[in-house]
Amino acid sequence: MSATAPLRPLLSARSLRLAFGGVKAADGIDLDVMPGEFLAIIGPNGAGKTTFINMTTGYLRPQGGSIDYEGRSLLGLRPRAIVRRGIGRSFQLPQLFTEHTVLENAALAIAARAGLWSPLTPLLRPGWRAEAEALLDRFGLGAVAGARADALNEGARKLADIAMAVALNPRLLLMDEPTSGVAASEKMGVVETLVRVLRQAGVTAVFVEHDMDVVARFADRVAVWSQGRIVALGPPQQVLADPVVRREVIGIEAHA
């Protein structure tokens, strides 16, 4: 491929449609996610942001349109199969194994990537333990590795949740509000850690975010969702300066 050839999108959605009763959660979504970029999704509650993530990861089936990943369709695949294709996700409410330690959580994710069909060798075997510890260190969670997952504060739980998704070596990571519930004082630290790790790992990221400071600072592009449509798409400085976006989207959020 020559240097001037256009980059093929990693993820490509075309005319996605899905309605819940009369509510259009996706009303003709067209979106390309390019390899290596950080794409922020913003928009008021109920605009269909999480629906987009759920459709991409196989939890909701669109009523129309297509989603291709690396040139192949994702439609009809189960969440498990989509994970194996290289798409990870993290959750608005962290989904951790609450009765396990943080280290065991990370090791389980590593075991899942390796295929965990070995009922007799211990989970915390030396190789996996070392990898889990290294992963947690990268996320700044080394100090709480031995703590039970339900004992962590919200910021650490969010990071642990994302660390488990990263352990699966995804090429594309979808994050649903990675900073919601994180105390304001921790927020920038959490995001900085996150972005550093993801950039190092070469992961392409799509994240739903309500904090415009985070979006302005870390996103390469911003997609603005409203009533199941993308109403603006571009670099943050351009999109966030758009008066319609400021009034319709950011204005609403300031009151939320």
Which residues of this chain interact with another protein, rule CB under 8 A?
Answer: 57, 79-80, 83-84, 88-89, 95-100, 104, 107-109, 111-113, 116-123, 164-165, 168
- Whole-number minimum distance, CB 174 to another protein, in Å? 11
Of 104 and 211, which has the nearer Cβ to another protein? Answer: 104
Of 104 and 177, which has the nearer Cβ to another protein? Answer: 104
- Whole-number minimum distance, CB 155 to another protein, in Å? 19
> Tokens 């415009």 identify what position?
212
- Whole-number minimum distance, CB 157 to another protein, in Å? 12
Of 17 and 100, which has the nearer Cβ to another protein? Answer: 100
- Whole-number minimum distance, CB 175 to another protein, in Å? 13
Q: Which two tokens stand for residue 159?
A: 């990071």
Of 166 and 249, which has the nearer Cβ to another protein? Answer: 166
Do the Cβ atoms of 79 and 59 come closer than 8 Å? yes
- Alpha-carbon distance of 256 to 254, in angstroms, equals 6
